[in-house]
Amino acid sequence: MILVAAMGILLLLIGFGLGYLFGNGIAGLVIALVIWAIMNLIAYFQGDSILLLMSRAIKISPDDHPRLYNVVEEMKIASGLPKMPDVYIIDDPALNAFATGRDPSKASVAITSGLLEKLNRDELEGVIGHEVSHIKNRDVLLMSLCSVLLGTIVILAWYGSRALIFSGGGRRSSKGGGQGQLIILAVAIILMILAPILAQLIYFAISRKREYLADASSALYTRYPEGLASALEKLGASTGQLKSANQATAPMYIVNPFRPKGRAVSDLTATHPPLSERIRILRTMAGGASYGDYDKAYQQVHKGGASIMPATALAGAGAVGLRAAAPAATLKEPEQSRVERTREVGDLLWQKSGYKIIDCECGTRLKIPSNIGKATVKCPHCGRTHQI
Amino acid sequence: MAVWAWVIIGIVVVLLFYFVFIFNGLVGLRNQVKNAWAQIDVQLKRRHDLIPNLVQTVQGYMQYERATLEAVTKARNVAQQAIGQGVGAQAKAEGELSGALSRLLAVVERYPDLKANQNFLALQEQLTSTENKISFSRQFYNDSVLNYNNKTQMFPSNIVAGMTGFKQGEFFKVEEAAEREVPKVSFEQPKP
């Protein structure tokens, strides 16, 4: 909260400085606030649909991919969300997932097809638990407010520096307002340069804090930190880059979608804590799955560092046990192979792009485009005819 | 005089607002506990609804396992009758149903044809997930009860809770005991 306030103050300062250059500090302040308010309104009402549209996510129903839908519903129950979030798939081989939506009763979870193919049920549960807790903790709202704040600061600073170069500076100094004005001018210039950098740093700090909290919540909901840890390990080993992400939406994803192409998710990523560290914390959680246990593990990994969990999360939390690998312990689902999962997701994407899937008795799976223009089709292997 | 009166009135008003604030918080938590309890019932009912389908699908493949199938159907009927007969009875019946189901699914391992059946695989996914949902809703219920109990016991909200008669919530522990027996049961061969 302090960090968010710091960003807000930065915005006001830069607005004031900008206005001062044009001769009226208060007017600049008002303009900064108005711009910020407008951008916030847009982000609040349209943010999630814009994000989903930009990432080309496809909405799925329970029948399209029962396992994914069920896992999301399980996490919805475990976290006590008031409403089932919408479930989306992004057709992209990169490994990532994100959550969006302004409040817990209107939210969405999206996952790339690459990730869906790669994770087993426990790992998928860990990832979805992480995303659902972003919704539950209202991180989506917080981070979109912050990114709008950041964006506004960057835009204002950019215009301010242009104005300074092309017109402002000369006019002001020729008037000769004395030493006081000169100092203010200098401060304004420094602010123009520093504000965007400072805002970016604050923004990253907030984002990292929320990531830790989401990891801890995921462990709490699933009672099984190893699931998320091993999923993060798989995510870390991949080198693919998500095509449809952008700078402003980066904190919504489970791992930073921006990293040099061809390189593994490095420990230098800024919106997210280092992956290796997140994994180590989750694996250090030996005693239980509560926020307190996560905090202890965090401090252990950081060699006596400060607490990372917000005090409200730690207060009044009782001991929470871990569970064994197979949930519910009574029923064990046969582990699907990687090939089966890939086929499952592939078929789903074919269907979602308008193809009809027909299983021939000879074992061939026919994928028929919707504009084929014929009523029957022949199987290329055995020659049986199928009705479409 | 007038100043003191205003100060006292101010303090009283602030206290009143604080009281209302805590009271509303307690009501919210109590409702959450109630709602969490209802969620468990929803999931249990879903499991009951799945079982006839499962038995139907499996029947054709498993002529020699009539006893196991009948045990599942019977356990399901018992569990359905146990609805509304108190937490203890319901938890016991559901625990037995879990046991019967896991025995059935252990037997399935012997029938490769069945394991390749799309219908059965879909059912198995639903069943696994329902089983998870039951345990997650129970987990959330217990978390809610913990939150609520903490609030009713901790200062200063315990004063408000005591004045307005908020009772402690009850943890859902019974079924865990029943569940603990399950592994033991699942390895037993049905007696002739």
| Helix/strand number for chain B, H first, E second | 7, 0
For residue A304, give both structure tokens. 């006596």
Residue predicted with more confidence, A333 or B99? B99
Does A65 reach chain B within 8 Å, measured CB to CB?
no
Option in B32, B39, B125 nearest A66 (CB): B125
> Span A76-81, mean pLDDT?
89
pLDDT score, position A50: 75
Angle at A180 between CA A179 and CA A181, to 5 degrees: 95
In one-letter notation, the amino acid at residue A31 is: I
Paired tokens of A352: 């979602």
| Residues A185-202 as b or e (16 or more Cβ within 10 Å = b) | beebbebbeebbebbbeb
- For residue A359, give the 3-state DSSP assignment: strand
Chain B: nearest CA to A183, how far in angstroms?
A: 47
From first CA to last CA, the distance across chain B in angstroms is 92
- What is the percent of chain A where pLDDT is above 70? 75
The pair of structure tokens assigned to A306 is 């400060």
The residues with which A356 forms a beta bridge, in sequence order, are: A368
Task: Tell me the C-alpha distance between A382 and B1, whole Å.
Answer: 102
Structure-block tokens of residue B87: 């937490």
Q: Report residue A302 as tokens.
A: 């950081």
Strand partners, A100: A108
Taking residues A235-240, what's their average pLDDT?
72
CB B47, CB B130: distance < 8 Å: yes
pLDDT of residue A76: 92
Average pLDDT over residues A104-111: 87
Indicate yes or no: CB of B125 within 8 angstroms of CB of A71.
no
Distance from CA of A178 to the nearest CA of B (A): 50
Which one is predicted more confidently, A266 or A69?
A69
Q: A350 near A343, Cβ under 8 Å?
A: no
What does the DSSP assignment read for A130-190? HHHHHHHTTHHHHHHHHHHHHHHHHHHHHHHHHHIIIIIHHHHHHH---HHHHHHHHHHHH
Given the residues A117, A123, A125, A131, the one annotated as active site: A131
Portion of chain A with pLDDT greater than 90, in percent: 6
Could you read off the pLDDT tens digit of each residue along chain B, which spans 192 residues?
A: 688 899 999 999 999 998 889 889 889 888 888 888 888 888 888 888 888 888 888 887 777 778 888 888 898 988 888 877 776 777 788 888 888 888 888 888 788 887 777 788 888 888 888 888 888 888 888 888 888 888 888 878 888 888 887 887 777 764 444 444 433 333 334 444
- Whether A95 contacts A114, CB under 8 Å: yes
| Rounded Cα–Cα distance for residues A197 and A199 (Å) | 5
Please give the Cα distance from A198 to B145 (Å, whole number). Answer: 43
**Residue B8 to chain A, least CA–CA distance (Å):** 32
Domain boundaries in chain B?
A: 2-187
- The CA distance from A153 to A39, in Å, is 12
pLDDT at A181 over 80: no
Residue with tokens 């239980």: A288
| ipTM exceeds 0.95, yes or no | no
- Give the largest CA-CA distance in chain B: 93
In the stretch 311-340 of chain A, residues with CB closer than 8 A to chain B read: 316, 318, 327-334
Q: Give CA angle at A27 (A24, A32), nearest 5°.
A: 125
* Per-residue pLDDT tens digits for A299-309: 777 765 666 66
Token pair of A351 as six digits = 């269907």
Active site residue A131: yes
Q: Kind and range of the H or E element at A110?
A: strand A106-112
b/e B156-172 (16+ beta carbons within 10 angstroms → b): ebbebbeeeebeebeeb
| Chain A positions in Cβ-Cβ contact with residue B182 (cut-off 8 Å) | 329-330
DSSP B40: H
Distance CA A191, CA A18 (A): 10
Contacts 24+ apart (CB under 8 A), A19-22: A20/A184, A20/A185, A20/A188, A21/A160, A21/A163, A21/A164, A21/A168, A21/A172, A21/A185, A21/A188, A22/A163, A22/A168
Count other C-beta atoms under 10 Å from residue A379's C-beta. Answer: 17
pTM exceeding the 0.90 threshold for the entire prediction: no
- Residue A59 bridge partners (DSSP): A88
Q: What is the DSSP letter of B65?
A: G
Q: How far is A130 from A294, CA to CA, in rounded Å?
A: 14
- Domain layout of chain A by residue ranges: 2-211+220-272, 353-388
**What are the residues whose beta carbons fall under 8 Å from the beta carbon of A182, sequence distance 6 or more?**
A173
- Count of CB atoms situated within 10 Å of the CB of A159: 12
- Which of B114, B115, B135 is the best substitution to test chain A (most A C-beta atoms within 10 A)? B135
Q: What is the CATH number of domain B2-187?
A: 1.20.1440.20
* pLDDT recorded at residue B10: 93
CB neighbour burial string for A28-58, b if at least 16 within 10 angstroms, e if fewer? bbebbeebbeebbeebeeebbeebbeebebb
The length of chain A in residues reads: 388
DSSP letters of A180-236?
HHHHHHHHHHHHHHHHHHHHHHHHHHHHHHHHHHHHHHHHHHHS-HHHHHHHHHHHH
